[in-house]
Amino acid sequence: MTHSDFPIIALSRNLYSSSRLLIQKIQLTLNEFGLTYPQFLVLAILWEKDELKVHELGKELSLDSGTLTPLLKKLESQNLLKRKRGEADERTVAIHLTYPGKSLQAKTLDAIKKLENELGDELGKEVQKLLPSMEGLLTKLSK
């Protein structure tokens, strides 16, 4: 099997390997805060827009509620967020950051910024070139 015979498979393999390696580097930074990478992604979205519904967060992360619920329960047990059922519709669950969840933002993002600067020296121009096309690919695959 050659790259020219199956370019989508070659691309997916490279994306998979690159993603795993990059996430491992990010995870080393997150260990200091007791967060996993998926937990960080949830918090990062909530830092931008607090009080999302679970289905809205799931859509942002392309995760179903079966995957997202254990993540949210863990973050809630760490007192970083609270989940609250809707009064009008009990099927909806809103997510709110707690004070500790909000205060973790500055420390975590400072550490991520340091990593970004370190990796930026090696990968900066490549990332700037790849990011728009990767966002386009994600959009197309999400349809």
pLDDT in tens, 82-137: 999 877 777 888 999 999 999 999 999 999 999 999 888 778 788 888 888 888 88
pLDDT at 106: 96
Residue 10, Cα to own-chain centre: how many angstroms?
A: 24
Q: Do the Cβ atoms of 18 and 51 come closer than 8 Å?
A: no
CATH assignment of 7-142, given 1.10.1200.10, 1.10.10.10, 1.10.486.10, 3.40.630.30? 1.10.10.10
pLDDT at 1: 60
CA angle 119, 22, 55 (to 5 degrees): 120
pLDDT at 129: 84
pLDDT at 138: 84
**Of 51, 86, 57, 87, residue with least CA distance to 69:** 57
Name the pTM for this structure: 0.87
As a whole-number percent, the residues of the chain with pLDDT over 70 amount to 98
pLDDT at 75: 97
Structural element, H or E, at residue 104: helix 99-142
